[in-house]
Structures are given as C-alpha cells and as structure tokens.
Amino acid sequence: MSDSEKNRKDTQAADIMIAEAIQKIKGEITGEFNKKKGPPVGGVFYKVYDSARKTKKFKVEDSCIGCGLCAKNCPVDAIELQDKKPVWVKERCALCLACLHRCPKFSIQYGKNTKKHGQFVNPYVKL
C-alpha cells in the first residue's frame, strides 16, 4: 500500500489477468490456470484471519470529522457513529479495511503499522 508505483503495476497486472479470465470464461475454455502454487494454507490462514478480525485493534484519531462514511461503508454494520465518532459495536468484522482506506481524513488506524502505509482506494470501486 505504501508504494504507489507498485500499486499501479499490480493493478495493471490484475487488469490483464482479469481480461484473460473473461476470455477463457466466454470461450468456455477449461483447465488449470492457477500460476501460483504453494502449500495449502487454509487452516493456518483462517486462524490468523480470525484473530485479525478483532475490532478492538481499530483506533480513531482526533482528525476525525464525524462524517460517518466509515459506518456507512462497513459491509457488516460493525461501526456506529456515537457522539460524532465511530465506535466498533461488533467484536469481529470482515476486515475489509474499507473504513480505514475510505476515511477522508485517514483517521482510522489498525494496530501500529497502518499509518506508515497510507491509504489505497481501488479505482474501479465506487461506494
């Protein structure tokens, strides 16, 4: 997220992969197209993900202007605006990070490392 040039290249590469996938689907071409091979990570990954979903790791900075976009954009209604500040009302969420990346003031942080990475907004997604 902190490297805008890498973000741009990754988005470009994804565009190409998506276009190829669309062509294969349209042409009803079947086969094994997964280029990335690796060990199955399901169980381990799920444990890490489940722990990361804990909303107590979110913090709001003083720069918050109480616009409510974070609550509006949360797909699982985990955020409520109380006294013009977001409050996480569910113990776990989907960890989509829309609240963090879509905040107009970058006021939401998650753990200790998100500040330095900045925000990323998918140019193709409108909320």
For residue 83, the tally of other CB atoms under 10 A from its CB is 6
List strand residue ranges (DSSP E) for 1-117, in order.
Answer: 58-60, 79-82, 85-88, 108-110
- With contact defined as beta carbons under 8 Å apart, do 106 and 2 qualify? no
Q: Of residues 17, 43, 45, 60, which one binds ligand SF4 by CB under 6 A?
A: 60
Q: Quick check: 89 binds ligand SF4 (CB under 6 A)?
A: no
Shortest distance in whole angstroms from residue 27 CB to ligand SF4:
36
Measured in degrees and rounded to the nearest 5, phi and psi for residue 122 equal -60, 120
Q: Quick check: 114 binds ligand SF4 (CB under 6 A)?
A: no
Binding mask 63-82 vs ligand SF4 (x if CB under 6 A, - otherwise)? Answer: -xxxxxxx--xxxx-xx---
Is 7 or 89 the residue whose CB approaches ligand SF4 more closely?
89
Q: How many residues belong to the site for ligand SF4 (CB under 6 A)? A: 27
